[in-house]
């Protein structure tokens, strides 16, 4: 089974794509390190003030995957200090 968490992030004070990447990359690295999930920027590559990142886990227990990604979601909402988490969505496929 495959489980994904999609986070739509707002970065209201970014003035360039370089600045946006400088804020997003450490956050994505920390998510990977803290929760052992695969993380990638998935959308809004050309917008300074928005980003969509996805966290992915693979396993055989859908309840565990959902619970683990809910913990990631809660942590991300509490620790994203450069703006707001506009939207989040968890999907389990398989």
Which architecture characterizes domain 2-93 according to CATH? 2-Layer Sandwich (3.30)
φ, ψ for residue 56 (rounded to 5)? -130, 140
Beta bridge partners of 92: 3
9 is written with which tokens?
């992030």
Whether 94 shows a pLDDT value over 90: the answer reads no
Q: What value does the mean pLDDT of the chain take?
A: 95
pLDDT tens string 7-45: 999 999 889 999 999 999 999 999 999 999 999 999 999
* CA 49 and chain centroid, separation: 15
User: In angstroms, rounded to a whole number, what is the distance separating the alpha carbons of residues 92 and 37?
Assistant: 14
Beta bridge partners of 3: 57, 92
Whether 82 shows a pLDDT value over 90: the answer reads no
Whether 88 shows a pLDDT value over 90: the answer reads yes
Residue with tokens 């990447």: 21
Does the predicted TM-score (pTM) go above 0.85? Answer: yes
* CA 64 and chain centroid, separation: 18
Whether 87 shows a pLDDT value over 90: the answer reads yes
């Amino acid at each position: 089974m495959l489980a994904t968490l999609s986070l739509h992030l707002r970065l209201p004070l970014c003035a360039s794509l370089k600045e946006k990447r400088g804020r997003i990359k450490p956050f994505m690295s920390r998510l990977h390190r803290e929760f052992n999930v695969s993380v990638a920027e998935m959308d809004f590559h050309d917008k300074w003030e928005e980003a969509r990142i996805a966290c992915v886990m693979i396993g055989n227990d859908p309840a565990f995957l959902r619970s683990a990604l809910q913990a990631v979601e809660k942590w991300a909402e509490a620790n994203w200090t450069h703006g707001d988490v506009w939207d989040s969505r968890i999907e389990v496929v398989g």
